[in-house]
Chains A and B, each alone.
Chain A
Amino acid sequence: MSIEIIAYILGGLTIGSALMVILSPHPVRSILYLVVTFFLISANYVLMNAQFLAIVNIIVYAGAIMVLFLFVLMMLNLSKENEPKGSIPMKAAAVIAGGSLLTVLVAALRKGTVQETTSIADDQGLVKSLGHELFTTYVIPFEVSSVLFIAAIVGAVLLAKREKQIIE
Protein backbone atom coordinates (compact mmCIF):
# COMPACT_ATOMS: atom_id res chain seq x y z
CA MET A 1 0.00 0.00 0.00
CA SER A 2 1.27 3.43 -0.71
CA ILE A 3 2.02 5.68 2.07
CA GLU A 4 -0.68 8.13 1.08
CA ILE A 5 -3.52 5.71 1.60
CA ILE A 6 -2.25 4.91 5.05
CA ALA A 7 -1.96 8.59 5.84
CA TYR A 8 -5.43 9.35 4.62
CA ILE A 9 -7.03 6.46 6.40
CA LEU A 10 -5.27 7.35 9.59
CA GLY A 11 -6.42 10.94 9.24
CA GLY A 12 -10.01 9.95 8.66
CA LEU A 13 -10.02 7.63 11.65
CA THR A 14 -8.56 10.35 13.84
CA ILE A 15 -11.25 12.78 12.88
CA GLY A 16 -13.90 10.18 13.34
CA SER A 17 -12.84 9.25 16.83
CA ALA A 18 -12.47 12.91 17.79
CA LEU A 19 -16.02 13.51 16.67
CA MET A 20 -17.18 10.63 18.78
CA VAL A 21 -15.46 12.21 21.75
CA ILE A 22 -17.60 15.25 21.58
CA LEU A 23 -20.78 13.63 20.40
CA SER A 24 -21.01 10.76 22.79
CA PRO A 25 -23.50 11.30 25.60
CA HIS A 26 -21.79 8.87 27.94
CA PRO A 27 -18.87 10.52 29.69
CA VAL A 28 -16.90 7.29 30.11
CA ARG A 29 -17.23 6.56 26.44
CA SER A 30 -16.05 10.05 25.63
CA ILE A 31 -12.91 9.42 27.56
CA LEU A 32 -12.32 6.09 25.89
CA TYR A 33 -12.77 7.58 22.47
CA LEU A 34 -10.22 10.19 23.42
CA VAL A 35 -7.78 7.45 24.28
CA VAL A 36 -8.32 5.96 20.86
CA THR A 37 -7.74 9.36 19.35
CA PHE A 38 -4.45 9.63 21.13
CA PHE A 39 -3.35 6.30 19.84
CA LEU A 40 -4.18 7.32 16.31
CA ILE A 41 -2.29 10.54 16.69
CA SER A 42 0.70 8.59 17.86
CA ALA A 43 0.40 6.47 14.74
CA ASN A 44 0.55 9.71 12.76
CA TYR A 45 3.71 10.60 14.61
CA VAL A 46 5.26 7.33 13.67
CA LEU A 47 4.34 7.97 10.06
CA MET A 48 6.21 11.23 10.27
CA ASN A 49 9.31 9.70 11.68
CA ALA A 50 8.83 11.05 15.19
CA GLN A 51 8.99 7.79 17.02
CA PHE A 52 10.11 9.12 20.33
CA LEU A 53 7.20 11.48 20.50
CA ALA A 54 4.81 8.76 19.53
CA ILE A 55 5.84 6.66 22.46
CA VAL A 56 5.89 9.59 24.84
CA ASN A 57 2.43 10.58 23.62
CA ILE A 58 1.09 7.18 24.44
CA ILE A 59 2.79 6.94 27.79
CA VAL A 60 1.99 10.45 29.02
CA TYR A 61 -1.34 11.21 27.47
CA ALA A 62 -3.10 7.97 26.98
CA GLY A 63 -1.41 6.32 29.89
CA ALA A 64 -1.32 8.92 32.60
CA ILE A 65 -3.63 11.81 31.89
CA MET A 66 -6.49 9.77 30.61
CA VAL A 67 -6.23 7.41 33.50
CA LEU A 68 -6.43 10.40 35.78
CA PHE A 69 -9.54 11.56 34.04
CA LEU A 70 -11.06 8.15 34.34
CA PHE A 71 -10.30 8.00 38.01
CA VAL A 72 -11.91 11.36 38.65
CA LEU A 73 -14.89 10.41 36.59
CA MET A 74 -15.35 7.22 38.49
CA MET A 75 -14.90 9.08 41.76
CA LEU A 76 -17.64 11.50 40.85
CA ASN A 77 -19.79 8.63 39.89
CA LEU A 78 -21.42 10.24 36.94
CA SER A 79 -23.58 8.44 34.48
CA LYS A 80 -25.59 9.26 31.47
CA GLU A 81 -28.53 10.51 33.53
CA ASN A 82 -26.44 13.03 35.44
CA GLU A 83 -25.00 14.47 32.27
CA PRO A 84 -25.88 18.17 32.02
CA LYS A 85 -27.85 19.13 28.96
CA GLY A 86 -26.76 21.91 26.68
CA SER A 87 -29.19 24.26 25.00
CA ILE A 88 -29.86 23.94 21.28
CA PRO A 89 -29.10 27.58 20.42
CA MET A 90 -25.79 27.21 22.15
CA LYS A 91 -24.94 24.14 20.12
CA ALA A 92 -25.90 25.87 16.93
CA ALA A 93 -23.83 28.87 17.83
CA ALA A 94 -20.92 26.60 18.70
CA VAL A 95 -21.06 24.85 15.37
CA ILE A 96 -21.25 28.16 13.57
CA ALA A 97 -18.33 29.53 15.49
CA GLY A 98 -16.28 26.48 14.91
CA GLY A 99 -17.14 26.35 11.26
CA SER A 100 -16.24 29.98 10.70
CA LEU A 101 -12.99 29.53 12.56
CA LEU A 102 -12.18 26.53 10.44
CA THR A 103 -12.86 28.43 7.27
CA VAL A 104 -10.79 31.35 8.35
CA LEU A 105 -7.87 29.28 9.50
CA VAL A 106 -7.77 27.22 6.36
CA ALA A 107 -7.88 30.38 4.31
CA ALA A 108 -5.02 31.75 6.38
CA LEU A 109 -3.04 28.57 5.90
CA ARG A 110 -3.40 28.75 2.17
CA LYS A 111 -1.63 32.03 2.13
CA GLY A 112 1.56 30.76 3.56
CA THR A 113 4.46 29.48 1.48
CA VAL A 114 6.19 26.40 2.67
CA GLN A 115 9.79 25.78 2.00
CA GLU A 116 10.13 22.11 1.63
CA THR A 117 13.14 19.98 2.19
CA THR A 118 13.89 16.97 0.16
CA SER A 119 15.56 14.79 2.69
CA ILE A 120 15.83 14.44 6.37
CA ALA A 121 18.22 12.65 8.59
CA ASP A 122 17.32 9.12 9.36
CA ASP A 123 17.51 9.37 13.04
CA GLN A 124 15.87 12.72 13.31
CA GLY A 125 13.01 11.62 15.41
CA LEU A 126 14.93 9.27 17.56
CA VAL A 127 15.92 9.70 21.13
CA LYS A 128 19.52 10.51 20.58
CA SER A 129 19.18 13.47 18.34
CA LEU A 130 16.23 14.83 20.28
CA GLY A 131 18.05 14.47 23.50
CA HIS A 132 21.06 16.19 22.11
CA GLU A 133 18.94 19.18 21.09
CA LEU A 134 17.07 19.17 24.35
CA PHE A 135 20.06 19.32 26.62
CA THR A 136 21.99 21.92 24.69
CA THR A 137 19.66 24.45 23.14
CA TYR A 138 16.59 23.92 25.29
CA VAL A 139 18.14 23.10 28.59
CA ILE A 140 16.69 26.09 30.44
CA PRO A 141 13.08 25.42 29.51
CA PHE A 142 13.77 21.83 30.51
CA GLU A 143 14.83 22.84 34.00
CA VAL A 144 12.02 25.32 34.34
CA SER A 145 9.52 22.68 33.41
CA SER A 146 10.62 20.68 36.38
CA VAL A 147 9.76 23.65 38.58
CA LEU A 148 6.42 23.79 36.85
CA PHE A 149 5.82 20.18 37.72
CA ILE A 150 6.57 20.79 41.34
CA ALA A 151 4.16 23.69 41.41
CA ALA A 152 1.48 21.58 39.81
CA ILE A 153 2.00 18.76 42.23
CA VAL A 154 1.89 20.98 45.26
CA GLY A 155 -1.17 22.73 43.93
CA ALA A 156 -3.01 19.56 43.18
CA VAL A 157 -2.31 18.07 46.56
CA LEU A 158 -3.28 21.21 48.38
CA LEU A 159 -6.45 21.66 46.46
CA ALA A 160 -7.70 18.19 46.73
CA LYS A 161 -7.03 17.75 50.39
CA ARG A 162 -10.05 17.19 52.48
CA GLU A 163 -10.66 20.06 54.89
CA LYS A 164 -9.93 19.22 58.45
CA GLN A 165 -13.00 19.23 60.63
CA ILE A 166 -12.57 21.18 63.79
CA ILE A 167 -13.20 18.78 66.60
CA GLU A 168 -14.59 20.40 69.70
Chain B
Amino acid sequence: MILASIFQTVSIQYYLVLATVLFIIGVIGVLTRKNAIILLMCIELMLNAVNLLLVAFSTYFGKSDGQLFVFFIMVVAASEATVGLSILVLIYRNARSVDIGLFNKLKG
Protein backbone atom coordinates (compact mmCIF):
# COMPACT_ATOMS: atom_id res chain seq x y z
CA MET B 1 0.00 0.00 0.00
CA ILE B 2 1.12 3.45 -0.70
CA LEU B 3 0.47 4.69 2.74
CA ALA B 4 2.21 1.92 4.54
CA SER B 5 5.48 2.51 2.82
CA ILE B 6 6.05 5.98 4.03
CA PHE B 7 8.86 4.86 6.15
CA GLN B 8 10.61 3.26 3.27
CA THR B 9 11.11 6.46 1.41
CA VAL B 10 10.97 9.30 3.80
CA SER B 11 13.45 8.98 6.63
CA ILE B 12 12.43 9.66 10.14
CA GLN B 13 14.83 12.54 10.34
CA TYR B 14 12.48 14.54 8.20
CA TYR B 15 9.62 14.23 10.64
CA LEU B 16 11.86 14.84 13.59
CA VAL B 17 13.06 18.09 12.16
CA LEU B 18 9.55 19.05 11.13
CA ALA B 19 8.23 18.52 14.61
CA THR B 20 11.13 20.38 16.12
CA VAL B 21 10.61 23.35 13.82
CA LEU B 22 6.95 23.47 14.69
CA PHE B 23 7.85 23.34 18.35
CA ILE B 24 10.30 26.18 17.97
CA ILE B 25 7.74 28.23 16.13
CA GLY B 26 5.48 27.68 19.08
CA VAL B 27 8.22 28.79 21.47
CA ILE B 28 8.89 31.92 19.52
CA GLY B 29 5.21 32.61 19.47
CA VAL B 30 5.00 32.29 23.23
CA LEU B 31 7.90 34.64 23.70
CA THR B 32 6.79 37.17 21.20
CA ARG B 33 3.06 37.61 21.48
CA LYS B 34 1.62 39.55 24.33
CA ASN B 35 -1.98 38.66 23.83
CA ALA B 36 -2.81 36.04 26.37
CA ILE B 37 -5.16 34.15 24.08
CA ILE B 38 -2.60 33.91 21.33
CA LEU B 39 -0.16 32.73 23.98
CA LEU B 40 -2.39 29.84 24.90
CA MET B 41 -2.79 29.02 21.25
CA CYS B 42 0.91 28.85 20.72
CA ILE B 43 1.11 26.44 23.62
CA GLU B 44 -1.43 24.26 21.76
CA LEU B 45 0.81 24.49 18.72
CA MET B 46 3.74 23.23 20.75
CA LEU B 47 1.70 20.35 22.05
CA ASN B 48 0.70 19.46 18.57
CA ALA B 49 4.27 19.45 17.43
CA VAL B 50 5.00 16.95 20.15
CA ASN B 51 2.02 14.89 19.04
CA LEU B 52 3.42 14.79 15.54
CA LEU B 53 6.73 13.58 16.83
CA LEU B 54 5.12 10.86 18.84
CA VAL B 55 3.04 9.60 15.95
CA ALA B 56 6.14 9.61 13.76
CA PHE B 57 7.94 7.43 16.23
CA SER B 58 4.95 5.18 16.52
CA THR B 59 4.85 4.65 12.79
CA TYR B 60 8.55 4.17 12.26
CA PHE B 61 8.95 1.77 15.19
CA GLY B 62 5.82 -0.22 14.55
CA LYS B 63 4.37 0.12 18.00
CA SER B 64 1.13 1.82 18.83
CA ASP B 65 2.16 3.20 22.17
CA GLY B 66 3.02 6.54 20.70
CA GLN B 67 -0.44 7.08 19.36
CA LEU B 68 -2.01 6.25 22.65
CA PHE B 69 0.21 8.75 24.33
CA VAL B 70 -0.95 11.34 21.86
CA PHE B 71 -4.44 10.47 23.02
CA PHE B 72 -3.64 11.39 26.54
CA ILE B 73 -1.80 14.50 25.54
CA MET B 74 -4.93 15.63 23.80
CA VAL B 75 -6.90 14.99 26.94
CA VAL B 76 -4.58 17.13 28.95
CA ALA B 77 -4.40 19.84 26.34
CA ALA B 78 -8.15 20.09 26.18
CA SER B 79 -8.62 20.45 29.91
CA GLU B 80 -5.73 22.87 30.16
CA ALA B 81 -7.10 25.07 27.45
CA THR B 82 -10.46 25.11 29.14
CA VAL B 83 -9.19 26.12 32.52
CA GLY B 84 -6.74 28.58 31.06
CA LEU B 85 -9.40 30.34 29.11
CA SER B 86 -11.70 30.60 32.07
CA ILE B 87 -8.92 32.18 34.10
CA LEU B 88 -8.31 34.53 31.25
CA VAL B 89 -11.93 35.57 31.23
CA LEU B 90 -11.75 36.25 34.93
CA ILE B 91 -8.64 38.36 34.55
CA TYR B 92 -10.20 40.26 31.68
CA ARG B 93 -13.11 41.11 33.89
CA ASN B 94 -10.78 42.76 36.43
CA ALA B 95 -8.06 44.23 34.27
CA ARG B 96 -10.05 45.02 31.14
CA SER B 97 -7.15 43.84 29.03
CA VAL B 98 -5.40 40.65 28.05
CA ASP B 99 -1.91 42.06 27.84
CA ILE B 100 0.26 39.79 29.91
CA GLY B 101 2.79 42.57 30.33
CA LEU B 102 0.40 44.12 32.86
CA PHE B 103 0.46 41.16 35.22
CA ASN B 104 3.73 41.78 36.95
CA LYS B 105 2.61 42.05 40.55
CA LEU B 106 4.99 39.27 41.58
CA LYS B 107 8.10 41.25 40.91
CA GLY B 108 10.74 41.28 43.60
Contacts and interface: CB of A to CB of B under 8 A. Distances in A.
A159 B18 contact: no
A48 B19 CA distance: 14
Given A65-B78, A120-B59, A160 B64 contact: no
A146 to B, nearest CB: 9
B70 A22 contact: no
B4 interface: yes
Interface residues of B, number: 78
Contacts, number: 239
B98 A98 contact: no
A120 B44 CA distance: 30
A48 B55 contact: yes
B12 A18 contact: no
B70 A3 contact: no
Contacts of B75: 145, 148-149
Given A72-B89, A148-B76, A152-B82, A134 B20 contact: no
A interface bracket (residues with beta carbon within 8 Å of B): 35 or more
A86 B33 CA distance: 7
Contact of A22 (B21, B32, B74, B79): B32
B12 A116 contact: yes
A39 B34 CA distance: 25
Nearest to B47: A61
A15 B82 CA distance: 26
Contacts of B68: 130, 133-134, 137-138
Main secondary structure of the interface of B (DSSP, over half): helix
Contact of B41 (A34, A101, A120): A34
A166 interface: no
A57 B54 CA distance: 14
Interface string B48-70: 10011001101111101101101
Q: Max chain B CB contacts within 10 Å: which of A50, A105, A119?
A: A50
B13 A109 contact: yes
B17 A109 contact: yes
Contact of B101 (A7, A84, A105): A84
The 8 residue pairs across chains A and B that have the minimum distance between CB atoms? A152-B79, A94-B31, A22-B29, A84-B99, A84-B34, A98-B28, A159-B86, A117-B62
19 contacts: A3-B10, A18-B22, A27-B37, A31-B41, A48-B55, A49-B3, A50-B59, A53-B51, A56-B71, A68-B82, A86-B33, A94-B27, A94-B32, A109-B17, A116-B60, A125-B67, A133-B65, A156-B85, A159-B86
